[in-house]
Amino acid sequence: MLKGVSPDELHLLVPRGTILLGYRGSIAHGMYRNPEHDEDSIDDKDIMGVCIPGVEHYFGLTQFGSRGTYEKKLREWDTVTYELRKFVNLLYQSNPNVLSLLWLEPHHYIKRYPEGDLLIENRHLFVSKKIYYAFTGYAYGQLKKMTHGSTEGYMGVKRKALVDKFGFDCKNAAHLVRLLRMGIEFLREGELRVHRHDAQELMEIKTGQWALERVQTEADHLFKRAESAYDECKFPNEPARQAVEKLLVGILTDYFGAVKGDPAALRN
């Protein structure tokens, strides 16, 4: 399923009960640069999943991961898996990273079970004007990190060298521009364009071909466009809570009903 990952390692990265699993980050955006072929690349292989753990996590003392989030890193692989209720709550808050999992290109999904398909089929329930605050908020975070960010992690040393070379974090700069463009598109169309049509231009930013001043000018322009898109947007102020809750309860009820009748139905 994941190239170069053994069955034991896969079990560590992807917990049992995962109902939806797909690429996120640079692979999903069409902007991945393989470090094996590009000495300047600092890209991980990022994956996100949604999990329904065992019934003891809902009625017993056992917790799933850390407050519903299970994270593992193994070499170039960087995975995060959310318990279903945590995932839906993040969707309700219009979290940009989490929303993206429902708008991937078909070939960017690694595992899809019926419960995961229900989330994708009902993604329209999470379309609201809250997207403005979520995406611009994340963009402001990238704007700050661009010149004052951390270079820790799998590619920390290499990333710091690139920051020293260009005078700012080009990867954060590309995230900044991408987030703002995605937010504007979402407010105007109700669709999240995860796989980027502007990938080539974003790659120019990511590889240091844009000066810091040009990035800042583009960001200022996009923040203003995002504000205008919000003012013109006709979406509800927030998702329909009752409809979202009905979806969540339905998925869990059907899932555990199936498991009770056939323990083999528990997703491996």
pLDDT attached to residue 28: 95
Task: Write the pLDDT tens digit of every residue in 209-240.
Answer: 999 999 999 999 999 999 999 999 999 999 99
**What residue spans define the domains of the chain?**
11-126+238-265, 130-232
| Helix %, strand %, coil % of the chain (to 5) | 55, 10, 30
pTM of this structure: 0.88
Task: Write the pLDDT tens digit of every residue in 104-125.
Answer: 999 999 999 999 999 999 999 9
Q: Buried b vs exposed e over 171-195: b needs ≥16 C-beta within 10 Å?
A: bbbbbbbbbbbbbbbbbeeeebbbb
Neighbours of 128 (CB within 10 A): 20
Average pLDDT of every residue of the chain: 89
Secondary structure of residue 21 in the 3-state scheme: strand
Task: Write the pLDDT tens digit of every residue in 13-36.
Answer: 899 999 999 999 999 999 887 766
Q: Check pLDDT > 60 for residue 101.
A: yes
Which helix (H) or strand (E) is 221 found in, with range?
helix 212-232
Q: Do the beta carbons of residue 146 and residue 168 sit within 8 Å?
A: yes
Task: Write the pLDDT tens digit of every residue in 145-183.
Answer: 888 755 555 446 777 777 888 889 998 999 999 999 999
Q: Which residue has the tokens 């403005």?
A: 132
Dist CA 50 CA 53 (whole Å)? 10
User: Helix and strand tally (H, E) in the chain?
Assistant: 12, 5
Going by CATH, does the domain composed of 11-126+238-265 fall within 2.60.40?
no
Q: Check pLDDT > 90 for residue 38.
A: no
How many residues are there in the chain? 268
Instruction: Transcribe 185-205 into DSSP letters.
Output: HHHHHS----S-TTHHHHHHH
Instruction: Transcribe 68-112 into DSSP letters.
Output: TEEEEEETTEEEEEEEHHHHHHHHHTT-HHHHHGGG--GGGEEEE
